[in-house]
Structures are given as structure tokens and as C-alpha cells.
A and B are shown apart, each in its own frame.
Chain A
Amino acid sequence: MKTFTVAKAVTALMLAGLVLLPLYSQLSGNIFILTLFTRIVILALAAASLNLIMGFGGMMSFGHAAYLGIGGYAVGMLAQEGVGSGFIQFPVALAASATYAVVIGALSLRTRGVYFIMITLAFAQMAYYVASGLARYGGDDGLTIYKRSDFSGLVNLSNRTQFYYLCLACLFGVVFLIWRIANSRFGLVLQGLRSNEQRMQAIGFPSKRYQLVCFVISGMMCGLAGALLANNTDFVSPAAMYWTRSGDLMVMVILGGMGTLFGPVIGAVVYLLLEEFLSQLTEYWALIMGPMLLLIVLFGRGGIMGLLGRLNRG
């Protein structure tokens, strides 16, 4: 537990960097970097939530971006209707995500493997088209949020630094929760089911209900990310739930290391920084990004965390 590993050192460095980032931003006067990293932290939160079902639960959900949209629309629609309090908006975002997860999970978990991937994708696309049809809330064009969630002076979301730290606290909180869950009774059952479902049933565990509960917890975590993301961009649109966004989240998780605690966070940081960097260099950045990701996935089994782990062994 107390041994030094490269992976731990890199993780610690990254976390320290995330904590100190606003200081750097202030000293250097670089406001852009804070905005960029707020987005990175929020999407890292979404990736961490996906990792809970994908990495620990072994359920390949290809529709996780739906929760980004649901969380975002909960904030946007309430704001539009004049309910500006974050104490209402955020619980509604979580409840809406949980409701969606219960229904979709109960239906999707009847299938396995590639069918599970396809059905979660199909439901997310349905959510996308439903949002596109909400004429009152901007339809295809999306919905502008004129006022960020109001937490009555507790935190001010319009203050860049405070908002960044709120997002970071949410990320740390969620990673901490996932850590506790992974080692709990529930988490062991979940990982047992990932490993060998038939065996788990034979020793007395009804698999579906554990997987469904996991699906719901993960969905709520991602719904939180959605609510934060909408506040960050002051805008929510159907594009937040488009399937390519679900794919982005999957890539972050796989890139960083599925089933590891901080892998998805590292994955999100690396993926989004690369995207930012390469898109400044060339318009055809995806041409560089694609092969790079391919190489990491092909040769670095276990993602970046896996690579770092092997470094340690020599």
C-alpha cells in the first residue's frame, strides 16, 4: 500500500496540478487555461462515472452522454421557467438521471455484449431526438442559460475560480465514492459479475439487481457532470448527448485505464489537452489524434495506467 510506484507519482502530480491550477492562472494572467480545465474536470467526472459501469461493472454502455444532456437540460429548463436555485436544479438533475437510468437499465440489462452496446446507444440517440424536438426549449438550436445556478451565496458559479473548485470538489468526491464502492460488498459482487456471471449466480447472487443499481449510481454521477457542464457553457443543446460524445467518454476511459481509480481522470486530461493542442496546430488534427489513440490502445493494454504500471516493473 505504501510502496512507491510510477503510476502513483504521476497521479499525485496530476492531482496537485489540478488543485494549483487557478493559482497559476491568476499569476500568469492566463484565464483561458482555467476555462479549459474547468471543462476537462467536468468531463473527467463524466468519464469516471462511465468507468464505474464499464471498468468495474463490465457493462459497455455506449449511451453515457445521454446523462450529460439530461443533467444539462434539467438545469436549462428550470432556469428557463424561472427556477434559478441550484438547490432545486441539481437535485432535479440527479433525480432525472436516476429515473432515466432505472428505465433504460432495466430494459438494456436483459441483453448482453454487443446487444447491450447497441441498445444503450439507441436509447441515447432517442434522448437526442427528443431534445431536438423540444421546441419550447430551443429544439435543435439548444437552450441558452442566462443565469447560472444560484447557491444563495454558498458558492458563486459565475466566479471562475469558485466554479472551478466546485467542479474539482465534485470530481474528487465522485472518485472517492467510486473507491469506496469498488472495495465494498457491493463492489466485490459487481466485479465478480464482470468476471464470471454464472459463478456468481451459483453462489447465490441475483446478477441483474446489482448491475441495475450500479447503472443508476453511474448515471446520477454523470448527470451531475451534465448539470455542471451546462453551467460552464451557459448553454445546453442536443449535441451534448450525441453518440460521438458517448464515444469520446469511452475513449477517455480506455485511454486512461479501465477499472482503475484515476485512469479516467488521466484519460480525460490527456485526451482533451491533445485535442486542444492538435487543433491549434492543424485543421486536420483528428488525423494525428486517431492513430495516436490507436497505438496506445493496441500496444498499451490497460491504457496509460497500464503503461505506467509496466514502467515500474522495469
Chain B
Amino acid sequence: MAEPLLRVDRLVRRFGGIIATDNVSLDVAAGELHAIIGPNGAGKTTLISQLTGHLEPHSGSVSLAGRDITYLPAYRRCALGLARSFQITSLLLDFTAADNVALAAQAHAGTSFRFFADARKEKGLRDAAHAALDRVGLAHRADVLVSRLSHGERRQIELAVALASKPKLLLLDEPMAGLGVTESQRMVQLLQELRKEVSIVLVEHDMPAVFALADRISVLVYGRVIASGDPAAIRANEDVKRAYLGEAHVVTHHG
């Protein structure tokens, strides 16, 4: 069997007496869109933070394309092809959209210890930035300061920034958070497009979106993976229904 792109093996992270990540193991194959769902407090963000390198696990391992990255700092993981978006939009507000994206491209295009030449005139970086902005449908907003963009547009810039580093694996932490209905639909469309090019781990609350997009879904409850499988299997799983979906039965589209 081929090596999975991302392998998480028996990951454990405690906060005091609480086990926020409890022996989590999961694989993400190349080309797959793997969704992680779970009720609030299930440990989704804690898990993501360990994948991105913002939090160290107490035991277990994370490997990317066969390489152990468990204790690498965030910037090294990024260089290996792991890009993320933030649950709460985290951009350079006093920079333009194009500058935000161009910096991500710059991080992957040679050294940044260049002190003299005007970086905004580097054609390679600008082209990469515009291509990524175009990809998310924001090319016409390239020269606007991010602080003047709408929330929805910022969510799209988050994606463009992640794309500009040409990642192998994209970690998306609730990309639909706070989006309106039409914006959400546009984001789903966009992710439908992107998944053809890059493997994605998607943490999301928007159930219709998750079931429409995911190849596989892992369900996290109290830090533990209680089920993992394709959308149909998850929908039919009794444990999942009880633990998570049971309350509202909203598994079907916009129920």
C-alpha cells in the first residue's frame, strides 16, 4: 500500500487532567479530501494545531509524505508543503491582498535576505499572487488593503495565501465560519475545484458542505476518533448519530 500523504499515529495531548487529543490516528491519502467533524470541544482545533506545529503533542507522531514532522516548527512544515488557513481570519491587515499572497509565494521562492531590490517589482512573485487571487475569484481586489475587505473576501484571501505556497496538503480550519449562505455556496464551489489539485484536510461545522465535499470523514468526540469512513458510512453509523448528529438529525441537505 502506498504511503499516505499525512499519517497521524496515536497522537496524545493533555491539558491538565483533560485529554484533548486521545490516541488519535488517521491517514490522509494523496488527492483525498478528508473532513474532520465533531461537536464543540471535541478537540478539533487542538488536533489541527498539532498538525501545523503550533502545539506539541505529548506522545504519538505526525508524518508528512513519510517524513516525521511531529516536532518541526510551523515554518519548516510549511516549507515541506503543509499550508493552513486559520479558523479566525489571520491576515496582515495593513497589507494589500496582493502583498499578503505575494509574501506566501516569497516564502517558497528563494531567500528573503535580500535587502535592496524592490520586492513588489518581482514579476515572479506578483504573477504567483495574482494567479492565486484569480483562483479564489478576487483578482479585481488585489490592490485593496485587507482591512477594507469584507469578512467573506478575507476568508477567500486566507485560501489564496495557502494556495500561493503551492502546498501538497491544505489544512482548512472552518473555512465557512461566519459566511452567509451565498458566500458559503461559493466557498463550497471553490473547494470542489481545489480538491482536484491538492489534498485537503477540512475541519468544518457546516454539515451539508462536509457531506457534499468529503471523500472520507473522521468523527471526533471527546478527543477520540469514534468513526472514520466515507460519507454514506458515517451517515449510517449509529455511534455517530448518538454522539453527534442525533440531536437534530440534520444530516440530509438543509433539513
Q: Which of A185, A198, A200, A213 has the most CB of B within 10 A?
A: A185
Residues of B within 8 A of A188 (CB): 99, 102-103, 106, 112, 119-120
How far apart sit A108 and B253, CA to CA, in the bound complex (Å)? 54
Q: Which of these binds chain A: B20-28, B85-93, B189-197? A: B85-93
Cβ of A205 and Cβ of B91 under 8 Å apart? Answer: no
Q: Are A204 and B119 in contact (CB under 8 A)?
A: no
Contacts of A181 in B (CB 8 A): 115-116
Binary interface encoding of chain B residues 86-129 relative to chain A, with 1 for a CB under 8 A from any of its CBs, else 0: 10001111110001001110111001111111111010000000
Q: Which residue of chain A is the closest to B122 with respect to CB atoms?
A: A185
Contact in complex: A185, B52 (CB < 8 Å): no
Binding site secondary structure of chain B: loop
For the complex, give the distance between the alpha carbons of A198 and B84 in Å: 12
A199:B74 contact, CB within 8 angstroms: no
- The reply to whether B118 and A202 contact each other, CB–CB distance below 8 Å, is no
A180 within 8 A of B: yes
Q: Are B113 and A213 in contact (CB under 8 A)?
A: yes
Least Cβ distance of B89 to chain A in Å? 10
How far is B184's CA from A198's CA once the two chains are assembled, in angstroms? 26
Q: Which B residue sits closest to A196, measured CB to CB? A: B92
A187 within 8 A of B: yes
B-facing residues in A173-194 (Cβ within 8 Å): 180-181, 183-189, 191-192
Tell me which residues across on chain A come within 8 A of B66, comparing CB atoms: none
User: Of B90, B103, B165, which contacts A189 at CB under 8 A?
Assistant: B103
Is B161 close to A, CB under 8 A?
yes
Q: Could you list 18 A-B pairs, sorted by A, with CB under 8 Å?
A: A180-B115, A180-B116, A181-B116, A184-B118, A185-B112, A188-B102, A189-B103, A191-B92, A192-B92, A196-B93, A198-B90, A202-B90, A203-B83, A204-B104, A204-B108, A205-B103, A206-B75, A213-B113
B119 close to A185 (CB less than 8 A): yes
* CB of B79 closer than 8 Å to a CB of A: yes
Residues of the A chain whose Cβ atoms lie less than 8 Å from the Cβ of B84: 202
Of the candidates A185, A191, A201, the one whose C-beta lies within 8 Å of that of B75 is A201
The residue in A180, A181, A201 that gathers the most chain B C-beta atoms within 10 A of its C-beta is: A201
Q: Using a Cβ cutoff of 8 Å, how many contacts connect chains A and B?
A: 95
Pick from B74, B91, B93, B165: contact of A201, CB under 8 Å: B74
Interface membership of B180, Cβ < 8 A: no
Residues of A within 8 Å of B221, CB to CB, are none
Question: A206 CA to B77 CA in the complex, in Å?
Answer: 11
Distance between B2 CB and nearest chain A CB, rounded to angstroms: 27
Kindly identify, within residues 196 to 235 of chain A, every residue whose CB is under 8 Å from any CB belonging to chain B. 196, 198-206, 210, 213
In the complex with contacts A196-B90, A202-B74, A202-B78, A184-B103 CB distance below 8 A: no
Interface size, chain B (Cβ < 8 Å) = 36
CA A30 to CA B120, docked complex, whole Å: 46
Q: Which A residues fall within an 8 A CB radius of B?
A: 180-181, 183-189, 191-192, 195-196, 198-206, 210, 213
Q: Is B208 among interface residues, defined by CB-CB distance under 8 A? A: no
| Partner pick for A184 among B73, B86, B115, CB 8 A cutoff | B115
How far apart are B169's CB and chain A's nearest CB, in angstroms?
14
Q: In the complex, what's the smallest C-beta–C-beta distance from B210 to chain A, in angstroms?
A: 23
Whether B115 lies near A204 (C-beta < 8 A) is no
Measured CA separation A210–B113 after assembly (Å): 8
Q: Give B116's nearest chain A residue, CB to CB.
A: A180
State whether A203 touches B112 (Cβ < 8 A). Answer: no
Are B86 and A202 neighbours in the complex by a CB distance under 8 Å? yes
* Contacting pair A201 B103 (CB below 8 A): no
Q: Which of A183, A189, A195, A206 interacts with B73 by CB under 8 Å?
A: A206
Hey, which chain A residues are within 8 Å of B91, CB to CB? 196, 199
When the two chains form their complex, are residues A203 and B115 in contact, meaning their CB atoms are under 8 A apart? no
A183 CA to B73 CA, complexed, in Å = 27
B165 — which chain A residues lie within 8 A by C-beta? Answer: 203-204
Closest A residue to B106 by CB, please name it: A185
State whether B112 touches A210 (Cβ < 8 A). yes
Tell me the complex Cα distance, A47–B76, Å: 36
Measured CB to CB, the nearest residue on chain A to B78 is A204
The docked-state distance in angstroms from the alpha carbon of A200 to that of B99 is 12
**What's the minimum C-beta distance from A173 to chain B, rounded to whole angstroms?**
13
Q: Could you tell me if B90 and A183 are in contact, using CB atoms closer than 8 angstroms?
A: no
| Of B94, B112, B118, B161, the contact of A205 (CB 8 Å cutoff) | B112
Interface pair B114/A184, CB less than 8 Å apart: yes
Residues of B within 8 A of A213 (CB): 113
B75 touches A205 (CB 8 A): yes
Interface centre among B73, B79, B102, B107 (most CB of A within 10 A): B107
Of A183, A186, A191, the residue contacting B112 (CB under 8 A) is A186
The answer to whether A186 and B114 touch across the interface, beta carbons within 8 angstroms, is yes
